[in-house]
């Protein structure tokens, strides 16, 4: 009896403490995406909207470094072409210092907001909901859209701009085949397919409920 009573109080206190600090997974996930949104907002705040930085490579070996183009519309230093007053496409898809582009950050922000919206619904007893499956498909579509727009539109547009500014001496470093873009598109397809399967599960659940 003494032994049982000795461990009873520590066990009771442990259960009370762990209960107070235990946070459901959906809340942890939601808080993490709130943090990601704050980081994206901080990144947007410190970006320069009047310039676009593009990492470029010489079109031919032995090409000399040109420092000023077209009456100071752009400057080149250490393999980075800084375009002053860029157009919207160049600004959205520029890669300042190898960091994520404005468009990628925008996609991540929308992705995060979708996760934040659906997280509270994950705590419900009925997880098979049409709005959750729809949100998953939207997230997959966003990732695919980012890859497709970059690959088939932005890449060509920005490379033509770099070639024109530098008199065909440099080209954008992201002009060629990019395995990361392919991987991004593949991940988007997987997420979209998961949403489709989830939607089928919702329909099966509804049919089971009707039969019951």
- Residue 159 contacts residue 53 (beta carbons within 8 Å): no
Q: Which pLDDT value is given to residue 196?
A: 84
Q: Which pLDDT value is given to residue 119?
A: 77
Q: Which pLDDT value is given to residue 57?
A: 78
4 falls within a domain: no
Q: Distance between alpha carbon 60 and the CA centroid of its chain, in Å?
A: 34
- Residue 98 contacts residue 15 (beta carbons within 8 Å): no
7 falls within a domain: no
For residue 126, what are the domain limits? 26-211
Averaged pLDDT, groups of 10, the chain, 212 residues long: 52 50 65 85 83 78 51 64 85 78 86 83 65 84 86 84 85 76 85 84 72 64
* CA–CA gap between residue 39 and residue 74 (Å, rounded): 29
194 falls within a domain: yes
CA Rg value for the chain: 25
- Residue 151 contacts residue 184 (beta carbons within 8 Å): no
196 falls within a domain: yes
Q: Take residue 141 and report the two structure tokens written for it.
A: 């579509």
> What are the distances in angstroms from CA 52 to CA 8, 29, 137?
65, 33, 32
Number of domains, the chain: 1
User: pTM surpassing 0.85?
Assistant: no
* CA–CA gap between residue 14 and residue 204 (Å, rounded): 42
5 falls within a domain: no
Q: Which pLDDT value is given to residue 75?
A: 65
> What are the distances in angstroms from CA 185 to CA 53, 95, 96, 107, 195?
24, 19, 22, 13, 15
Q: Which pLDDT value is given to residue 5?
A: 53
């Amino acid at each position: 009896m003494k032994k049982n009573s000795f461990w009873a109080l520590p066990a009771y206190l442990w259960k009370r403490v762990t209960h107070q600090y235990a946070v459901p997974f959906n809340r942890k996930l939601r808080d993490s995406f709130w943090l990601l949104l704050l980081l994206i907002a901080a990144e947007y705040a410190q970006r320069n909207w009047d310039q676009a930085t593009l990492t470029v490579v010489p079109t031919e070996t032995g090409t000399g470094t040109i420092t000023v183009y077209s009456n100071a519309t752009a400057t080149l230093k250490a393999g980075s072409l800084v375009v002053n007053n860029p157009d919207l496409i160049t600004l959205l898809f520029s890669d300042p210092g190898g960091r994520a582009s404005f468009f990628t950050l925008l996609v991540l922000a929308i992705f995060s907001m979708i996760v934040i919206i659906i997280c509270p619904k994950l705590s419900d007893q009925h997880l098979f909901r049409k709005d959750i499956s729809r949100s998953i498909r939207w997230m997959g579509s966003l990732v695919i859209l980012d890859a497709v727009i970059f690959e088939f539109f932005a890449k060509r547009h920005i490379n033509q701009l770099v070639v024109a500014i530098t008199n065909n001496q440099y080209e954008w470093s992201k002009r060629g085949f990019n395995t990361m873009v392919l991987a991004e598109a593949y991940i988007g397809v997987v997420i979209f397919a998961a949403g489709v399967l989830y939607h089928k599960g919702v329909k099966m659940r509804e049919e089971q409920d009707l039969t019951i």
